[in-house]
Amino acid sequence: MNIIDYLIIFGYFLISISIAVYYSRRAGKSTDEFFLSGRNLPWYLAGLSMVATTFAADTPLAVTELVAKNGIAGNWVWWNFAFGGLLTVFFFAKLWRRAGIMTEAEFAEIRYSGKPARFLRGFRALYLGFFMNLIIMGWVNKAMTSILIGMFGIPESDVIIYVFGCMLLVAVYSAMSGLWGVVVTDAFQFILAMTGCIILAVIVVNSPQVGGMTGMQEKLPAFVFDFFPTISDIQSLGGAFALTVASFLAYIGIIWWASWYPGAEPGGGGYVAQRMMSAKDEKHSMFATLFFQIAHYAIRPWPWVLVAIAALILYPDLGDSEKGMGYIYAMNDFLPVGLKGLLVAAFFAAYMSTIATQLNWGTSYIINDFYRRFMSPGKNEKHYVAASRITTMVLMVISVVVTLFITRISGAWTFIMEAGAGVGLVLILRWFWWRINAWSEISAMITPFILLPFVKYAGIEFPYSLFYLVSITTVVWLIVTYLTKPTEDAVLESFYKKIHPGGVLWKKISDRLPDVKSDSGFLKMFLNWFAGVVLVYCMLFGIGSIIFGDFTNAFLYLGGAAGAVLVIYINFSGENAKEVLK
């Protein structure tokens, strides 16, 4: 690192703080401004913010590790979530915006009734906004420690002090600027982070040691470049990444709709729901989420994948625990003065955009759905904004402590997917089936935690554990649903008037409200969902085919993507699509 590199990093921090200062007065007006940007975000800012949040400091390292172990196809571990993401776009984005609430936890009291609804709201606020949020920030901090050690040679015993300094800066600008500052900073940070990653990929791939795309393909076995895993109960077929039939069904057939995972919640949720609820209107909410899915799955991964493949050539002797560090070593070894500072700033940007969102989103749950609802109701908006700023700082401090206890990032990922296994179907059906009640959600959230120790004691590992967790949890919440009282009719009718989701599973309520114009055209929604899935995967593999010089397949994939766009455009109607894009 040279003085120029440090100046670039300093300039990045200065711009981030300047944005926070600019938006600080606006954020102080009300909690609606602080947490939802006054519900006035355009689709491109809301979408960019979603993408930036999912681009954390750990993401390139995780992709490098996946590619090192299983080639490009190893990314199906997270690519499968696109199925659920597109479901959110076409079924749920408009419903979240229509709900007019501040947080996902608040949903409990507009959809359910009585003490169970109040309990669920408070429980979700602390469970998601505090407990799960701290685990997420902990693993993001853990990845940042690896980057600081690899780039700066900071002793492992001291690195947490530097992470604390980074978090302090993020907490300060999040507490000052609220969501407006977070979102605008996200846009700047995402552009910076992607620019840096693309530059690194170009330099590393074209280095003499790698020899460009041709050299890369000559020096590595063909299976590394496969887009799809082999489906076989033989774990390794000539070195290719092979999924057993059971694992394939778990990844492709279960996880995306059955497990809760941050950024890929079934039916939308968390910070994705926050951005949808912050959008200008329902169309902006839908377009923001569609943009997020395309950028997240189809465009953004390729610079990381290329560096990951090059790292196989450059650092062939890395152990399993070090494979992700190939990305950091490539930065250190191949970037010239100035560009190294840009890449380090890019990683700070990726880290800070994620942490800023997690702090703002987690604070929104704690303040809106616990503190204001149960502890200190009836105060003025300035009081709650001040409490939000204090809570942001407290969450920051606790998350640094949690980081000390996280040893493996991948262990945190699988724990969260297993801990949320089986709740997904409830989160989807609560919008479309009147009989779902607060006890359905409560039982679905608690059951996996009770089951998980027994599943682990039996030696059943992820992803096979999902078959047991999802099946038993589903049976439990269905039994609980029918053994407990349904939501009060007055609440159901109020919810239906406000959201009007439509569908045959609301017939009992909709028959009483003939004047309410409900959503229809579910066949079109499913068609749009299918077309959206085709669009994302065809773009993903079409871009990959162009990169690797397979222009025949690229033409077919991109032709499929164009056809999918046409289907979606027609179903939205050209007039509405143009209106959103104005």
Residue 238: its pLDDT value, please? 44
pTM of the model: 0.88
Cβ neighbors of 478 (< 8 A, separation 6 or more) are none
Q: How far apart are the first and last CA of the chain?
A: 44
Greater confidence (91 vs 2) lies with 91
> What CA–CA distance (Å, rounded) separates 446 from 424?
13
Residue 396: its pLDDT value, please? 86
Cβ neighbors of 78 (< 8 A, separation 6 or more) are none
Chain center to CA of 272: 7
> What CA–CA distance (Å, rounded) separates 527 from 94?
17
Quick: pLDDT tens for 57-114: 778 888 898 898 888 988 988 899 999 999 999 999 999 999 989 889 999 999 999 9
pLDDT higher than threshold 80 for residue 338:
no
pLDDT higher than threshold 90 for residue 248:
no
pLDDT higher than threshold 80 for residue 517:
yes
Residue 411: its pLDDT value, please? 57
pLDDT higher than threshold 50 for residue 237:
no
- The string of DSSP letters for 513-554 reads -TTS-----HHHHHHHHHHHHHHHHHHHHHHHHHHTT-HHHH
Question: What are the structure tokens assigned to 440, written together?
Answer: 């359905």
Mean pLDDT computed over 386-408: 83
Q: Across the chain, which distance is largest between two alpha carbons, in Å?
A: 73
> What CA–CA distance (Å, rounded) separates 24 from 174?
9
Residue 495: its pLDDT value, please? 95
Greater confidence (34 vs 85) lies with 85
> What CA–CA distance (Å, rounded) separates 60 from 53?
13
Say if residues 272 and 61 touch (Cβ distance below 8 Å): no
Residue 163: its pLDDT value, please? 80
pLDDT higher than threshold 70 for residue 350:
yes
Considering only 327-336, 452-461, 503-512, which range has the smallest mean pLDDT? 327-336
Q: Give burial (CB, 10 Å; 0-12/13-18/19+) of 156.
A: exposed
pLDDT higher than threshold 50 for residue 546:
yes
Q: Is 318 left (phi over 0), alpha (psi -120 to 50) or beta?
A: beta
Residue 303: its pLDDT value, please? 94
Mean pLDDT computed over 32-54: 86
Q: Give burial (CB, 10 Å; 0-12/13-18/19+) of 252.
A: middle
Mean pLDDT computed over 332-349: 81
DSSP state of 500: -
Quick: pLDDT tens for 148-158: 777 677 777 77
Residue 11: its pLDDT value, please? 86
Quick: pLDDT tens for 190-202: 888 888 889 999 9
329-333, 403-407, 542-546: which is most confident = 542-546
Mean pLDDT computed over 548-565: 95
Question: What are the structure tokens assigned to 413, written together?
Answer: 């990922």
pLDDT higher than threshold 90 for residue 347:
no
> What CA–CA distance (Å, rounded) separates 217 from 435?
55
pLDDT higher than threshold 50 for residue 575:
no
Bridge partners for 41 per DSSP: 279
Considering only 482-496, 503-517, 524-538, which range has the smallest mean pLDDT? 503-517
> What CA–CA distance (Å, rounded) separates 470 from 460?
14
Alpha-carbon dihedral sign for residues 459, 461, 464, 466: positive
Mean pLDDT of the chain: 86
> What CA–CA distance (Å, rounded) separates 522 from 502?
9
DSSP state of 262: T
Quick: pLDDT tens for 351-391: 887 888 888 889 999 999 999 999 999 898 889 889 998 99
Greater confidence (523 vs 322) lies with 523
**Count of CB atoms within 10 A of residue 410's CB?**
15
Question: Domain spans of the chain?
Answer: 3-419, 521-582
Residue 146: its pLDDT value, please? 75
Grouping H, G, I as helix, E, B as strand and the rest as coil, residue 209 is: coil
Give the residue ranges of DSSP H helices in 100-252: 107-111, 114-126, 133-152, 159-205, 212-219, 245-250
Bridge partners for 259 per DSSP: 421
Mean pLDDT computed over 289-308: 93
Say if residues 174 and 356 touch (Cβ distance below 8 Å): yes
Quick: pLDDT tens for 124-138: 999 888 888 888 888
Quick: pLDDT tens for 468-478: 999 999 999 99
Mean pLDDT computed over 521-533: 91
Greater confidence (13 vs 309) lies with 309
pLDDT higher than threshold 50 for residue 259:
yes
pLDDT higher than threshold 50 for residue 36:
yes
Phi, psi of 242 (to 5 degrees): -120, 130
The pLDDT confidence band at residue 321, using thresholds 50, 70 and 90, is: low
Residue 240: its pLDDT value, please? 54
Residue 66: its pLDDT value, please? 87
Question: What are the structure tokens assigned to 316, written together?
Answer: 């062939």
User: 3-419: CATH homologous superfamily?
Assistant: Sodium/glucose cotransporter (1.20.1730.10)
The pLDDT confidence band at residue 14, using thresholds 50, 70 and 90, is: confident
The full length of the chain comes to: 582
Greater confidence (288 vs 261) lies with 288
Question: What are the structure tokens assigned to 347, written together?
Answer: 């990683």
Residue 538: its pLDDT value, please? 97
